Structure 1
Amino acid sequence: MPALNETIDTVREILGYPTYDISCQLVDEDYIKEINSDTLGMEKSTDVLSFCFTEYLIEQGVLKEVPSQGKMIGEMYCLGDMSVCVDYVANRCEEDRKSGIAIGK
């Protein structure tokens, strides 16, 4: 999945946190509905759900400095979890293709 890895690297660079991890899972429509219902109380499908894992969040997109303890502690350097619904995204891309909206480069 080189394209997905490249996209995640780009997102980390844009955010200004290139050394932080982002957990990304590709899920189906039933699973994204379950997550959306359990966490947000919304009984519907969506394209992406994301959840911040760090206690170092000051505000959206801004983290305070992680304390240095001589070595990196993995979980302190994880921005969070992102679930992408492949079914939902594929359906929207197909709808865009049919309507003539350009997708990609």
Structure 2
Amino acid sequence: MPVLIDNRQEKIKVDEAVEGFAAQVVEKVLAYEECEDDFEVSISFVDNEEMRRLNKEYRGIDKETDVLSFPLVEFAEEELEKEEEDADYIEEEIALGDIVISMEKALEQSKEHGHSFKRELAFLLVHGMLHLLGYDHDEGASEGEMFDKQEEILKKLNLTR
């Protein structure tokens, strides 16, 4: 399960340990959701300036945000199950989508919430992955489900508040 990482910022150090941790979080989310397909996920680390530009371009909101997700696969749940059955012959990865994280914003929020940068980064990665898997928090019931899943996955990573 490839996790492709593109560090496009220089304000927060991104080394092999950070990249390995990001891949571990992605794998934990996929395991939690019992995804058996071989997915490819792309993660870009950016600064606040680039995040603001992306947020304006794709969401029409002219301010930085912490995480953006760009799903490449959109299936209804029953369609996804059928696709998984039909895709048994596929040997290559399925590009699930892209996650963009503002490392500056992640650091700011970790300080605001009084927890580690590692926990904040994991939270943003889990949040982004759940969006790639079709979860949304703009709707009442699904918002609670999404946030509950985030906390459960963070517990499995031993990253509680």
* TM-score class normalised by the smaller sequence: 0.7 to 0.9
| Structure 1: distance between partners of 2:96 and 2:56 | 22
Pair 1:24-2:24 in alignment: no
- Which secondary structure does the structure 1 equivalent of 2:87 belong to? coil
Query: Which amino acid in structure 1 is aligned with residue 35 of structure 2?
Result: Y
Query: Which amino acid in structure 2 is aligned with residue 24 of structure 1?
Result: I
Cα distance change of structure 1 residues 94 and 70 upon mapping to structure 2, 3 Å threshold? same
Structure with larger Rg: 1
Q: TM-score, normalised by structure 2?
A: 0.52
* Structure with higher RCO (Cα < 8 A, 6+ apart): 1
Q: TM-score, normalised by structure 1?
A: 0.75
| Structure 1: distance between partners of 2:88 and 2:67 | 34
Structure 2 residue aligned with 1:3: 21
| Structure 2: distance between partners of 1:57 and 1:63 | 5
Alpha-carbon RMSD across the aligned residues, in angstroms, is 2.3
Cα distance, 1:27 vs structure 2: 0.8
| Structure 1: distance between partners of 2:23 and 2:92 | 22
Q: 2:106 aligns with which of 65, 73, 89?
A: 89
Runs of 5+ unmatched residues, structure 2: 1-18, 120-158
Identity %: 21
Cα distance, 1:73 vs structure 2: 4.5
Please identify which structure carries the higher strand content.
1
Runs of 5+ unmatched residues, structure 1: none
Cα distance, 1:72 vs structure 2: 3.0
| Structure 2: distance between partners of 1:11 and 1:72 | 21
| Structure 1: distance between partners of 2:89 and 2:54 | 37
Number of residues of Structure 1 aligned to a counterpart in Structure 2: 96
Cα distance, 1:3 vs structure 2: 1.2
Q: 1:48 aligns with which of 53, 67, 71?
A: 67
| Structure 1: distance between partners of 2:62 and 2:80 | 31
